[in-house]
Amino acid sequence: MSKIIEDLKSGEVLIKFKSLRSGRIITEKCSLNSDLVPKQYSFKQNNESDSLLCYLTEKERWEDIQKDSIVEYKIISEEKL
């Protein structure tokens, strides 16, 4: 699951996960790319953590997603370095 953090840092990722509150499946565009998140935020993700903090690019807010609730994800855009 550490690969997802690398993918989030490189661009935008479509994540499908199960809501812990409602049990419904949610699909969101997420990122940790410095060009896509608010400039005032800087932090490091811990690969050992049970959750993943990522920025929902369409809703313009942060979301804490339990890693074991992720059904699937795919890269939808990457920044060209």
The Cα–Cα gap between 27 and 45 comes to 21
CATH of 2-78, one of 2.30.29, 2.30.30, 1.10.10, 3.30.420: 2.30.30
Distance of CA 43 to the CA centre of its chain: 14
Three-state secondary structure call for residue 77: strand
Backbone angles phi, psi at 27, to 5 degrees: -120, 125
Per-residue pLDDT of the chain (81 residues; tens, 9 = 90+): 679 999 999 999 999 999 989 999 999 999 999 899 998 877 778 888 899 999 999 999 999 999 999 999 999 987 654
| Domain residue limits, the chain | 2-78
Residue 21 burial (CB count, 10 A): 5
